[in-house]
Each structure stands twice: as C-alpha cells, then as structure tokens.
Structure 1
Amino acid sequence: MIKTLVYVLIILIGLCLSPLIIGQSGYVYIAIGEYQIETSLVAAVVGLIVFYFALQLIEWLLVLLLNIILSSRYLPAKWRKKAAKKHTLIGALAIAEEDWPAAESAMAKGAQQGEIPLLNLFAAARAAHYQGKTTARDHYLTQAEKNPVAQTAVNTSRARYFIKQGDLVKARAIVDKLSPTSKSSAPVLKLAMDLYQQQQDWQALKLILPIVTKRKLLSENELATLTIQTNTILLTNAAKESEAELEKCWQWLSKAERSNEQLVITYAHGLNAFKRKEKALKLLSKQLKTQPSSTLFNALPDLISADDVEIHKLIERLEPTHENDADFQTCLAKLAMQKRDAKQAKLHWQNVCRIAPTRQTWLALAQVQEQLGENTSAAQSYRKAAITT
C-alpha cells in the first residue's frame, strides 16, 4: 500500500513538473566503452522509470515461478499432512462415540503424517484395547516408545492395560521398573496404589502412603480410610506370624496412628492371642478414657471377659453419659451375658430396642426373656422382630 502511494506521488510530481521540464529539456550524455548515448533529460528520466518498473516485473515473475516450482515439489507432503489432520479429526469423533474400530483405523492412519503422531498412537492403542486386540495395542505402544519423551507414558499405559485385563504379574513388573518415589509423577503413584491394593501388597502400599499424603493425591477421607485399612491388615498379618513381628509393626506406626481406635482394637486382639492381655487391657482402658466410641463399644465384648473387673468398672462409669447410646447399651448387654446376669442383660436389650430397634436386637431380647421364663414377653419380642427390618 505504501509503495503504491509513493508511485502515485512520483507520477503526480512528474505531471506538475513536466511543463517546466519540457521548456528546459536539458541534455544527457552516457558513454560505456565504445557505446555512446545522447538524449534529453526528460527522455532519460522516463527511461529510468520504465527500466525500474521492468526490473520489478521481472522480480515478480521470478518469485512466482520459484513458488510454483517449490509448491509442486512439496505438494504431496502437504496433501498427506492435510489427510492426516482429517483422519485425526475422524478418529477423535469416533472415540467420543466409542466407535472403537473406526477410531483405531483413523488414528493409525493419522499417525503416519500427523503433527503429533504420539497422540494418534496412544489413541489407536486405546481403541485396540477396548476391542480386545492386545497384539495391535502393544504394536502401537511399541511405536510410541521409540520417542524417548514417551517412555514413562508408554509404561504407565501398558501397566494400566495389564491391570484391566487381569494380568497383575506383568503390570507389577512394569511398576517395579518405574520405581515409584517422591519424584515420580502423580499417574505413576496412583497406578502403584491401585496395583498394590489389587495384589494386596500392603507393605509396599504402606511405603508410598507418606508420598501420597504429601502430594495430596487423595481426599482426606479417602486417605484416612486407606491408611487405616492398610495398617489394620498389616497388624492382623503380623499377629499371624509372631509376637515380634506384631510389635515391630505396631512400633512402625506413627503416634497419631497408634491412637486410632480401630488400630488399637486390632493390636489388642493380637496381644490377647499371645497371652499379653494385661497390656491389651491397659490400651483399651486408655482408649475408653480418651476416645470412647461406637467402634470400641462393639469390639469390647470380644476383647474382655467377666474376670476383667477394673475395665468393667470403667465401662460402667460411662453409663450416665451414654444412656441413650445404642452401641453402648448393646455392649453392656453382651458383658452382662458374659457374667450370666440375664436380668441385667434384659434391661440393656430393652434400652437398645427403645433407642434403635432392629430385628437382631428384638431377637436378642426375646432369647433373654425366654431364659428368664418370660414366655409371653418373649413371644411379643419375636413378633416385633418379624415385622422389623
């Protein structure tokens, strides 16, 4: 645009000055070797202008010719790239529709000349997996693996596919190769968590839980549930091996974990199994004083006996504050049955049926009433059990 304005300006100036120039034409003499040129100033100026425009025209023609030659040379490659984009788009739409055969075919074609062939190869592998074509899936992943940047992504994908098809041994070999650490990516850590849980390798899971906690890969509730589950199973398994292993596992827990009621209960079961009831009762008593809960009340009848007088007294002290707690009343009823005190057990079962009646609690009350010879009341309790869900 600026060039055009300059040309127009030059022409206008020439038109304005031409009358003056015609009146005083001037004289130009040019000698080049044996050649000599004589002309007026006006003719020389006009000749220069024409020569300049001729050069511009030649330049434009040369550029146009070169573009045509180069375009015709690289035109097939452009066609292939354009076709690859089209296949990638078709493949993406097929994946959205879950048309796996069409998705695999389109993505595989798009990978040949695509701008991001890795994207096409991973998508084709996914489509092949959903069709059960494991050989084709592994072929696509092998092609993607040739790119060094994709090594971790390929291994993670392979392990996921092996887990989905139930081949946990091959998946574990890949996870061990990835060696999950604090420097590993979030997908690798999540993959390891899933695999360890499916293989029930709680020891390995315990090792990466601090990393998962630090990286916040799970919600607080999910993390708390998984941590308690892992530690509970580890304590249970340790108790099956030896007393030393149980103590080692217990000491491995953090201070906060050793105050968790579920873990205290599991540890107490292990201590009872090794005839260390005194320590178990000490832990249970401490838990009753600090954090009495429904979980603890439900577990106590299996952990203590009628001879454990001190802890019985401690439990009885909680009655004024837990009068309307169904789990606490159930605990008292079961402890009364341990002492063969059917009358006291009946009172507690009646409280349970008043607070939170269920089929099981009505049946328990009916059985106690039968033992006491209260057949009419027992029959009524059985009828209530029959109509209660």
Structure 2
Amino acid sequence: MVRALVYLIIILLGLCISPFLVGSKGYLYLAIGDYQIETSIVFAIIALIIFYSLLQLVEFVVVWFLNMVLSSRYLPERWRKKAARKHTLLGALALAEEDWPAAEKAMAKGAEKGEIPALNLFAAARAAHHQNNIQARDEYLAKAQLEPQAEKAARTTRTRYLLQQGDLVAAREELDKLNPTSKSKLPILKLAIDLYQAQQDWQSLKLLLPIVNKKHVLDDDAFSALSLKTNTALLSQAAKANEQELEKCWHWLTRGERKQAEYIALYAIGLSRFERKDEAVKMLLKQVKASPSAPVLNALSQVLTPADVEAKKQLLALEPQYENSVDYQICLAKLYQQNHDYHQAKIWWQKACYLQDDINSLHALADAQEHLGELNRALQTRRNAAKLI
C-alpha cells in the first residue's frame, strides 16, 4: 500500500514537472579523452535510468546463475539427506510394528546422512538386540558413543542389554564406569538396583539404598520390599559367616529396623549358632509376648531344643492369649514334633489346620497321624491337602 502511494506521488510529480522539462531541455556536454558527447539533460537522465535498470538486471542474472551453479555442486548431498530422512521414517514405522530386521536395516541406512545419527544408531542397536545380533548391536552402540553427548546414554544402554543378555560380569564393568551416585539419573540407579540383585551383591545394594530413598527411585512399597530383601540377605550371610560379621550387620541396621520381627528372628538364629542361645531365646520370647509374628515364632521353633523346658513353659503360658494365632499353633506343633511327641504334635497341628487350611500343615498333621498308626486318617488328611493344590 505504501509502495503504491510512493509510485503515485512520483508519477504526479513527473506530470507536474514534465511541461517545464519539455519547454527547457537544457544542454549537456561530456568530454572523455577523444570522445565527446553532446545531448539534452532530459535524454541524459533517461539514459542513466535505462543504464541503471540494465545494470540491476545483469546483477540479478549473474547472482541467479552463481546460486544455481553453487547449489548444483551439493545436489548429491541433498539427495542423500533426503534419502536418510526417508529411511529414518521407515525405520521408525518398523520399530512401531516390531519388525526388527527392517527397522535395523532402515535405521542403519538413515544414520549415514541423518540429521541426528546417534538417534538412528540407538534405534538400530535396539532392533539388533531383539534379534540377538550381539556383534551388530555393540557396533552400533560404539559408533553412537563417539558422540560426546551420547556417551553416557550409550553406556547405559549397553549395560541394560548386557543385563538382559545375562552377561552380568560385562554389565557390571559398564555400570562401574557409570559410577552410580546421588548425582546419577534415575535409569542408571534402576539399572544398579537390578544388576546388584542379579549378582546378589547385597553390600553394594545396601550402600545404594539411601540414594534410592532420597531420590524416590521406587515407590514406598517397592522400597520397603527391597530394603527387607537386602537386609534379610545380609543377615543370613552374616549368620553363616562369623559372630563379628553378624554383629556388624546387626548394628548396620537403623534403630527402627532393629525392632522389625524379620530381622530379630534372623539375628536370634545367628546368635544361637555362636553359643549365645540364651540371649537369642530371651530376645525371641520378649518379642512373642509383645506381639506374635510368624518370623519370630518360626525362629523359636528352630532355636529351642527339647532341653529348653523353661522356655517352652513360658511359651505354653501364652496359649489363652494366642489361641487364634495360626503361627503360634504351628510353632508349638513343631516343638513337640522335635521331641517326637507325636500325640501333642497332632493336637497342635489340628488346631492350626482348624484355624487355616494349609498344604504344609496338613501334610505335617498326616505325618504325625502316620507315626501314631492312624493310617486311614492320614490318608484322608493328604487327600484334603491335595484338594488345595
């Protein structure tokens, strides 16, 4: 709009000035060396305008021609980039369809001249991994690792694939290079959790637990289960090693954890193995009086022997309080069975089975009945156990 207005003003000015120019053409004399030019001012102005226009036209043609020549030199490069985009698209579609051979082939081709080669290489490595083509997978990851920003991602991916492959030693070497710390990303920490569990490296996992809890890598239930599994494994190993390791592991637990029934049971079993049975029995009985839990009652059935008459009396005195506790009935049944008192064992197994049908309890009851010569009842009890399968 503004340009049209400017043109209109120029035209109107030309219309206004043209009569004066026609009436007074003026005179122009130019001498350049041996050349002389005589003309009117109007013709000179018109000639200058035409010359400038031709110059602009020549400039436009020259620039256009140079651009065309320069662009034509890189046409094959453009074609390759266009082909790389096409292969990447085909590879992405093949990945979505889980057509692993086609995905690997297309992504590998797209990586050659792709805009983000590392992305294509990771996708090709994934496709190769699903085909169990280990050599090709590692080659793709090695190429992707050459990109500085993709180095950590390549190591993380390689660790995950090695873990899935079952090569725990090589996976651990890669994980150690990543060095899981509080500054590590969540995928690395999750890999560390899975790998430490697969290797049963409970010491390393125990050291990692505070970081996992702080960064909320797992939800509360999953973290509690992992902590229980780790601490249980460490206590079990320590109880089989020596007393010093057991004490070290026990005091490694937090004050709250040392009040948990699962850990108390394992610690007491360990103490009984190192000639500290009285301390173990006292600890377990104290816990039973506070609240009957399956781990503690099960530990009592392992720690107590026929010679521990006083401890059994204390346990029997709790019968009115725990008459509806299945774990309490099972504990007493096991203790009587250790004494080969099958008559009393049968009574307590019957009480346990009455409160809750359980295959193991039914088979234990059948064993007691067989020892007492009650073969028909034992056969019926085993039939009842078979119905629970």
Contact 2:100/2:130 (<8 A) preserved: yes
Q: Structure 2: which 5+ residue stretches go unaligned?
A: 32-36
Q: Is the 8 A contact 1:27 1:38 kept in 2?
A: no
**Are residue 357 (structure 1) and residue 357 (structure 2) matched?**
yes
Q: What's 1:38 paired with? A: 40
Offset, 1:309: 5.8
**1:186-197 paired onto structure 2 within 5 Å:** 186-197=186-197
In 2 relative to 1, CA 372–113 (structure 1 residues): closer, same or farther, beyond 3 Å?
Answer: closer
- Structure 1: which 5+ runs fail to align? none
Q: Distance in 2 between matches of 1:194 and 1:70?
A: 56
Alpha-carbon spacing, 1:32–1:384, altered in 2? closer, same or farther (3 Å) = farther
Aligned counterparts of 1:293 and 1:263: Cα–Cα separation in 2:
12
Measured in 2, the distance between the counterparts of 1:181 and 1:128 equals 30
1:276-355 correspondence to structure 2 within 5 Å: 276-305=276-305, 308=308, 312=312, 315-316=315-316, 318-335=318-335, 337=337, 345=345, 347-355=347-355
Aligned partners of 2:87, 2:188: CA distance in 1, in Å?
Answer: 31
Quote the residue 1:386 is aligned against. 383
Counterpart position of 1:139: 139
| Alpha-carbon shift at residue 13 of structure 1 (Å) | 3.8
Paired with 1:339 and 1:363, the residues of 2 have a C-alpha distance of 18
Q: Quote the residue 1:228 is aligned against.
A: 228
Cα–Cα, structure 1 residues 109 and 306, in superposed 2: closer, same or farther, change >3 Å? Answer: same
Correspondence for 1:241:
241
1:9 aligned onto 2:9: no
Measure how far apart 1:87 and its partner are. Answer: 0.6
Letter in 2 for 1:168: L
- Following the alignment from structure 1 to structure 2, what is the Cα–Cα distance between the partners of residues 305 and 254? 31
- 8 Å Cα contact 2:104-2:123 kept in structure 1: yes
Supply the AA of the counterpart residue of 2:40.
E
Bigger drift between 87-96 and 354-363 goes to 354-363
Q: How does 1:61-80 map to 2 (within 5 A)?
A: 61-80=61-80
Q: What amino acid is the match of 1:9? A: L
Letter in 2 for 1:383: Q
Identity of aligned residues (%): 50
Q: How does the TM-score come out when normalised to structure 2?
A: 0.84
In structure 2, how many angstroms separate the alpha carbons of the residues matched to 1:361 and 1:219?
A: 35
Count, aligned residues: 380
Q: Is the 8 A contact 2:292 2:328 kept in 1?
A: no
Q: Which runs of structure 2 are paired with 1:204-215 in the superposition (5 Å)?
A: 204-215=204-215
Q: Give the AA of the match of 1:64.
A: W
Does 2:267 align with 1:263?
A: no
Deviates more, 1:291-300 or 1:190-199: 291-300
Change (3 A) 1:132 1:347: closer
TM-score by length of 1: 0.84
Task: Return the offset for 1:269.
Answer: 0.7
Residues 367 and 153 of structure 1: CA distance in aligned 2, closer, same or farther (over 3 Å): closer
Q: CA 1:291–1:86 in 2, change beyond 3 Å: closer, same or farther?
A: farther
Q: CA deviation at 1:197?
A: 1.5
Cα pair distance change 1:19/1:371, threshold 3 Å: closer
Measured on the aligned residues, the alpha-carbon RMSD in Å equals: 3.2
Q: Provide the C-alpha distance between the structure 2 equivalents of 1:161 and 1:145, rounded to a whole number of angstroms.
A: 15
- Give the drift of 1:362: 4.3
